[in-house]
Structure 1
Amino acid sequence: MKKTLYTIVLMMVMILSACSNNSSAPASEEEVQETVLNFYNEMSKFDEMGRSSLENFNTTLTSYSTGAATDKELEQALDSFQDTASDIAGRVNDVKISKSLPEDVETLLRDAVIAFQSAYSIKEKASQSAASPEVTADEFNAMNQQADVAMLYGISKVNQARVAVGLLEEDSAAETELGSVPGTVVSTEADEIGGNAAKTPVNSGTESGNSAD
C-alpha cells in the first residue's frame, strides 16, 4: 500500500513542479545556503508544532481512558489538535520558493513544499475525522499512512537540497531518512524534521471521537 501511495505522491510532485520556471537573477552561494537553511528551519518549526499538539492530544486521551481527564479536557485537547493541524496546513500552503536559486535546488525545495502541502492537508483531514464516529479505525489509519508517505518524501527532498548546498553530509542525510521510517533506527540527529513523522494517533483518534460524544 505504501508503495502505491509513494507512487501517487511522486507523480503529483513531478506534474506540479514541471509548471515552475526560473527567471530571476541567480543568488550567491551564501544566499542559496541561507535560503535552504531558512526553509529547513521553517519546516522544522511546523513539525515541532504538529508533534507537540499530537503529544498533548495523546496524553489527554490516555488520561481520559483512565478517568484522570474530563470530557471537557479531552474536547479541548482535540480542538487544539485540529486547530494546529489546520494552521500548519495553511502556513505551509503560503510558503514561497525563490526563483533565484540554482535550478536543481529550487526544484528540490519546490518538490518538498508540494509534498509537505499534501502531507499537512491530509493530516488536517485526519485530525478533523478524529471526533467522527463515522470514520473507522482503518480509514483513519489509511489517512495517516498517506500523510506519512508524503512527509517522508518531502523530508528526503529537503535533505537532498541541504546536501546540494553543503549544509549536510550525504551519509547523514541517508541516516536521517532511515530514522524517519517506521521500524528503523532513529537518527542520532534528534531534531531532524519528521523524527516522529510516523507516530500518529492511529485508532486512538476514532476512539476519542466515540468517547467524547
Structure 2
Amino acid sequence: MRQALLAGLLVAVMILSACGNNSAEPASPEEVQETVQNFYNEMSKFDEMGKSSLENFNTTLTSYSTGQATDKEFEKAVDSFQDTASQLADHVNDIKIAGGLPDTIEKLLRDSVIAFQSAYQIKEKASKGAVSPDVTAEEFNTMNEQADIAMLYGISKLNEAREAAGLIEPEQAVPGTVSDAGTDAKQEPGAGSAGTSSVK
C-alpha cells in the first residue's frame, strides 16, 4: 500500500515539475544558498503553525473516542484543524521559487512544494472525514498514511536541496519534522501523528 501511494505521488510530482522553467540569469552560489535557506525557513514556519492545531485535534480525537470529550468540543477541534490545514496548503501553493537556480535544486524545491501541499490537502480531507458517517476508520487512517508519505517525500526533497546547495552534510539529511530536518530528529513528521487514531 505504501509503495502504491508513493508511486502515485511521484507521478504527480513528475508531471507538475515538468511545468517549471528556469529562464532567469544563473544565481551565484551564495544566492542559491540564500534562496534554499529562505525556502526552508518558510516550510519550518508552516510546520510550526500546524503543530498546535494538530496536537489539539489528536488530543480531542482521543478524548472523544473514549467518551471524555463532547460533540461540540470535537467539532471545534475539527473545524480548527480543517482551517489550519487549508491555510497551510494555500500558503505552500503561494510560495514562488526564484529563477536562476541550478536545474537540480529548482526541481527538488518544486517537488518539495508539491509534496507539502499534497500532505496538507490530504490532512484537511482526513479531518473532514473524521466527522463523516461515510468515512470508515480504515479510510480515515489511510488518508493520514497518505499524508505521512507526502510529508516524508517533501522533507526528503528539501533535505536534498539543502545538501546540493551546501547547507548541510549528507549525514544530516534525516527524516523528521520540517523544523528538525537536518538535525538529529527521531520523530515522524508533525502532519502524520494522527494516522493511527480511529474515529469510528
Q: TM-score, normalised by structure 1?
A: 0.82
Quote the residue 2:184 is aligned against: 188
1:26-54 C-alpha deviation (Å, 9 max, x unpaired): 12222211111111111112222222211
**Distance in 2 between the 1:69 and 1:203 partners?**
15
2:155 corresponding residue in structure 1: 155
- Per-residue deviation at 1:81? 1.0
| 2:22–2:100 CA contact under 8 A, matched in 1 | yes
Quote the offset at 1:62 in angstroms: 3.5
- What is the CA RMSD across the aligned residues, in angstroms? 2.1
State the one-letter code of the partner of 2:12.
Answer: M
Q: Percent identity?
A: 65
The equivalent of 1:167 in structure 2 is 167
User: How many residues matched?
Assistant: 195
Matched, 1:56 2:52: no
User: Contact 2:62–2:197 (CA<8 Å) still a contact in 1?
Assistant: no
TM-score, length of structure 2 as denominator length: 0.87
Identify which range, 66-75 or 156-165, moves more after superposition.
66-75
* 2:139 equivalent to 1:139: yes
String of CA shifts for 1:69-107, please: whole Å, max 9, x gaps: 443322221211111111111111111111221111111
Instruction: Specify which of 184, 187, 198 is matched with residue 192 of structure 2.
Output: 198
Question: For the Cα contact (< 8 Å) 2:148–2:189, is it kept in 1?
Answer: no
1:42-191 residue pairs with structure 2 within 5 A?
42-64=42-64, 69-173=69-173, 176-177=174-175, 188-189=184-185
1:24 matched to 2:9: no
Q: Which residue of the partner structure matches residue 2 of structure 1?
A: 2
* Corresponding residue of 1:183: none
**Do the aligned partners of 2:89 and 2:117 also contact (CA within 8 Å) in 1?**
yes
Q: Is the 8 A contact 1:138 1:203 kept in 2?
A: no
Taking structure 1 as reference, are residues 123 and 67 closer, same or farther at Cα in structure 2, changes over 3 Å only?
Answer: closer
Q: Measure how far apart 1:60 and its partner are.
A: 2.5
Distance 1:151 1:88, change over 3 A: same
Gaps of 5+ in 2: 178-182
What secondary structure does 1:140 align onto? helix
Q: What's the secondary structure of 1:25's corresponding residue?
A: coil
Letter in 1 for 2:194: T
Task: Name whichever of 136-145 and 11-20 sits farther off.
Answer: 11-20
Distance 1:65 1:23 in 2: 53
